[in-house]
Amino acid sequence: MSEARCLPGLRLPVPIVMHIARAYCVQAGKVVDIYQARALFFEQEEPRRRFEFLCSYDTCRSANATRVTGVNYDKLVEDERDRILVKPHFRMNPETPHSVGCEWVARERAEEAADARDREPAQRRGMRSFRNLKSSDFVDVFLPAQLARGPPCESAESSRTSGAGREPTAADPVSTRTRAGRSKLTRVDFLETVVSAYELLEADERREAKLRIGREASLPYNRAFCRVERYFLARGARIFHGGVRVQAHGPNFSVRFFDRVIVPAPMRPGEARELVLYLKREALLQHWNGRFLILQLAEATKPGHYAHCYFFGRVVDHPTLAERLAVEVRSLEHLAFTVRRRAIASKRATTSELISY
């Protein structure tokens, strides 16, 4: 314990709530982020058992068996507490201490030091503070995976190796998911991480906070995220989204957007076409997150459930039906759904425009 000096709660200069982006999953025997933990959880047959998590930093585990709590990684339908959506995340366990060298302590201290250096209000320093979103969970850059392999397809064949390729995160403390200091931008390649940030921003915050998609210029979140009906009117890289109805067709799923896509001149002026996305079970199962998506989509087909679909991809002509358009994404990393119970959806909508913006 000499090297790994404990940071007892009373003397802790760091805030009680420390941001933890990755943790060691005891059952899986590896370091995972919360979305990987969720995927592994839903790969289990029922009854599924919740995992035990320890700190991702080796010394924390060996010296203190530092526990970390996984929150909401076992849910298919979104939860909310005090009218705030609760996204999957890791939470520090205040009863077990971290070591001084711990990557999460180091990051917290770097942030503390920055705070002490300039005692100006956060907003004057150009830093962000949000009402429902921790600044450490904010995403500055969405870097879509560059998938050279294979043709694009509506069923999104990103292989399991894509997920596995993101796994050695423990050796990379300044990875795409973390921010080592204030000056570092948080970059992610998994669309749902950006979606979580977007959904937790209030309407006014979405107008202020900026997101860069790939190499494009930064845009306010409320423009980087664009309703599907405006697909042909928007310029540059955007994340499109809209409410959807999910239907099961045997083992596969069709996802129909409620909003029709406006087709501008000179194509067929004034026309609005239906937009669909087809997901084949077989293709989903090829992806590290596919089993979760299948169960989440199945949940969305149930009465009283509401689903919202986000994608980074293209809208193309439907292969067989001229009156329809189809969504094409190159990877399942570029596709995310949120599923809520209707009561929650409508209550939330009245408080912050989350659903009906």
- Our CB check for Zn ion shows the closer of 102 and 339 to be 102
Return the structure tokens found at 200: 């937790």
Shortest Å, Cβ 102 to Zn ion: 3
Question: What single letter denotes the amino acid at residue 154?
Answer: E
Could you identify the residue written with the tokens 């979606």? Answer: 195
> How far apart are the C-alpha atoms of 295 and 337, rounded to whole Å?
11
For 30-69, the three-class secondary structure string (H helix, E strand, C coil) is EEEEHHHHHHHHHHCCCCCCCCCEEECCHHHHHHHCCEEE
Looking at the Cβ atoms of 54 and 355, the one nearer to Zn ion is 54
Task: Tell me which H or E stretch contains 263.
Answer: strand 261-263
CA distance 179 to 356: 32
Q: Which residues bind Zn ion (CB under 5 A)?
A: 55, 57, 60, 66, 98, 102
Residue ranges of the alpha helices (H) in 122-267? 160-164, 191-200, 203-208, 221-224
Nearest to Zn ion of 170, 263 (CB atom): 170
Distance of CA 23 to the CA centre of its chain: 17
Q: Which residues contact 215 (CB under 8 A, 6 or more apart)?
A: none
Which residue from 31, 35, 29, 19 is spatially nearest to 56, judged by alpha carbons? Answer: 31
Q: How far is the CB of 54 from Zn ion (least distance, A)?
A: 9
- Cβ distance to Zn ion smaller for residue 70 or 290: 70
Q: How far is the CB of 139 from Zn ion (least distance, A)?
A: 23
CB of 347 to Zn ion, least distance (A): 37
Q: Which is nearer to Zn ion, 21 or 55 (CB)?
A: 55
Output the smallest distance, CB 36 to Zn ion, in A.
18
Taking the least distance from each CB to Zn ion, the nearer of 67 and 287 is 67
Least Å from the CB of residue 24 to Zn ion: 10
Q: How many angstroms separate the most distant Cα atoms in the chain?
A: 73
Smallest distance, Zn ion to C-beta of residue 89, A:
16
Of 102 and 213, the one with the shorter C-beta distance to Zn ion is 102
CA 189 to chain CA centroid, nearest Å: 9
* H or E segment and range at residue 243: strand 239-249
10: its two tokens: 């009373």
